[in-house]
Each structure stands twice: as C-alpha cells, then as structure tokens.
C-alpha cells in the first residue's frame, strides 16, 4: 500500500454563503476541497469576484464557513491560530507604530514577552532587507518597503502556512519582480508553505509549485496545474520555453472562465 503523508492543511466541502436567506444572499464558495502539503507554493487564480479572498480568509479562520471543515496536520480547526498568518494586499500596517512594532505585533498578540522576541523580530526585519529601518514609521517607507514589513510580520509568527492575498498588487512593476524573487528565496530558506492569491498568470507560474484555478461564482476549484520547473527560480526562468507554455495553458483555462463571467454579466 502506498503511504501518503498527512497534508499540512486540508479543507473539505467548504461552502460560504454571505447573508444567507436574505435577498442579497451571495453563494461565494461551493463545495471547495483540497489538500496542501508542506513546502508547497500554491497560487489561486480565477476571475474577479470568484471567491479567492473568501477562500483565503476561510482557510485563515477569519471567516467561518457556512459548512465544511478545515484541518491542520489532521486536527480540525475552528478559528485563527498561530499555524496560519495572513499578508494583506493593502499591507494593513499600523501607521502609529514603527517597523519594529509592526513586525512584533503578532508575537505580542500571542502573549510573548518583549525581551524574548527581540532577536526574532530583528531577524525577520533583516530577512526582508529592512535592517536600519526598525524605528521608521510606515509613512516614511515606499510601497515596496511597507509590503516587506507586512511579509516580515507574517513570517515572524513562524506559521506553518503563510496566506498571501495579492500582496504585490499595489507595488510598481520593477519592485514587484524583485519582491517575487525575494519571497521565493525566503520561502526556500525558511521552508514555508505558502498559499498566494494573484491576478497575474506570470506571477503565479513564476512562484508556484501548483496553481489552483477557480470558476466564476459560486467559486469552485476547476483545475490544479503542477508547475514542474525546479527551484530556485530566477528572472532567467521566465525565458524558458516551458515557462511560456505553462502561461499559455493557464490563460487558455482562465479565458473560458472569464468568458462565462461576461455572459453572466458580472465582469
């Protein structure tokens, strides 16, 4: 018998219905199931409004599903905990707190004493290249630097799974390419499991070991595409014929979903 490893994160038959029973009811996720294994980099891609953020928030525990279950290493979970951390699109930094305090936030929230977290906070600030900026406030930083603070804060709690909701969408193109490489480096060094939402097929192929493709609402998983390109990946990876083939395949899948969305009049 083939022995399969327990997935780090498993979700079964997730349904999310907003405003259930009301005239403005929205069925956002329908029977969504999946397994994520340690060390995977999963991107979720799908038409706008298909339920990607809903899925991520549900996996984080911020949103309770209408039905379905989530388990971490085989144990069912019912809310947020230290196993998962989110990095938000709009950085979600506290403007009145320094870089250091923003990165320390999750650790303090978990009840850790200041004297015990200092080394860890400084380690993650250094990891994202912000050494020397510990005492700066968010308004003194560029967009790319703010997002690096958000990433350091996510990593600092040392979650088993890092959930990233379009983390680079508010960053300019050049910084974005550099950040993509940086996140991959960190992910490989720190051996993290990442679930990542993006609208960019290029970003998804570059970063992912697997891409999950979602349908128009109610969001369902319609395909999973393994990206068989070895890590570490660099900007040169993008020139590989295989890379371009993956991009075309994903776009062919996605095009069908986007067309369906237009027909439904929701784009």
- Closest-CA residue to 182 (of 167, 160, 198): 167
CB 29 within 8 A of CB 58: yes
Interface residue with ligand ATP among 84, 146, 217, 233 (CB under 6 A) is 217
Q: How many residues bind ligand ATP (CB under 6 A)?
A: 13
Report in angstroms how near the CB of residue 151 gets to ligand ATP at its nearest: 19
Interface residue with ligand ATP among 14, 28, 36, 161 (CB under 6 A) is 28
CB 59 within 8 A of CB 32: no
CB 9 within 8 A of CB 161: yes
The count of other CB atoms within 10 Å of the CB of residue 151 is: 25
Report in angstroms how near the CB of residue 19 gets to ligand ATP at its nearest: 6
Interface residue with ligand ATP among 13, 48, 234, 244 (CB under 6 A) is 48
CB 38 within 8 A of CB 161: no
Q: Is 50 in the site for ligand ATP (CB under 6 A)?
A: yes
Give the burial class of 202: count Cβ atoms within 10 A of its Cβ; 0-12 exposed, 13-18 middle, 19 or more buried: middle
Q: Which is nearer to ligand ATP, 63 or 179 (CB)?
A: 63
Which stretch, 44-52, 70-78, 168-176, 221-229, contacts ligand ATP (CB under 6 A)? 44-52
Interface residue with ligand ATP among 14, 42, 54, 93 (CB under 6 A) is 54
Q: Which is nearer to ligand ATP, 196 or 243 (CB)?
A: 196
Give the burial class of 161: count Cβ atoms within 10 A of its Cβ; 0-12 exposed, 13-18 middle, 19 or more buried: buried
Q: Is 103 in the site for ligand ATP (CB under 6 A)?
A: no
Report in angstroms how near the CB of residue 161 gets to ligand ATP at its nearest: 18
H-run or E-run covering 87: strand 84-87
Site for ligand ATP, rule CB under 6 A: 18-19, 26, 28, 46, 48-54, 217
């Amino acid at each position: 018998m083939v022995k399969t490893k327990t997935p780090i994160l498993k979700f079964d038959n997730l349904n999310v219905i907003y405003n259930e029973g009301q005239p403005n009811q929205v069925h956002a996720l329908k029977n969504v199931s999946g397994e994520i294994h340690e060390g995977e980099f999963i991107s979720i891609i799908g038409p706008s409004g298909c339920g990607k953020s809903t899925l991520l928030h549900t996996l984080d525990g911020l949103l309770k599903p209408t039905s379905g279950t989530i388990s971490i290493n085989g144990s069912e979970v019912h809310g947020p905990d230290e196993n998962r951390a989110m990095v938000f699109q709009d950085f979600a930094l506290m403007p009145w707190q320094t870089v250091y305090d923003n990165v320390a936030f999750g650790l303090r929230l978990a009840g850790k004493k200041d004297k015990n977290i200092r080394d860890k906070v400084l380690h993650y600030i250094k990891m994202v290249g912000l050494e020397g900026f510990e005492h700066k406030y968010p308004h003194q930083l560029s967009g790319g630097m703010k997002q690096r603070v958000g990433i350091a804060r996510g990593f600092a709690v040392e979650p088993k799974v890092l959930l990233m909701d379009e983390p680079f969408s508010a960053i300019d193109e050049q910084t974005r390419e550099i950040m993509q490489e940086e996140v991959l480096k960190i992910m490989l060094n720190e051996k993290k499991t990442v679930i990542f939402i993006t609208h960019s097929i290029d970003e998804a192929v570059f970063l992912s070991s697997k891409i999950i493709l979602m349908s128009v609402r109610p969001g369902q998983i319609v395909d999973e595409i393994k990206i068989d390109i070895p890590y570490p990946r660099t900007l040169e990876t993008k020139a590989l014929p295989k890379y371009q083939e993956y991009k075309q395949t994903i776009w062919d899948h996605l095009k069908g979903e986007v067309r369906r969305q237009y027909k439904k009049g929701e784009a």
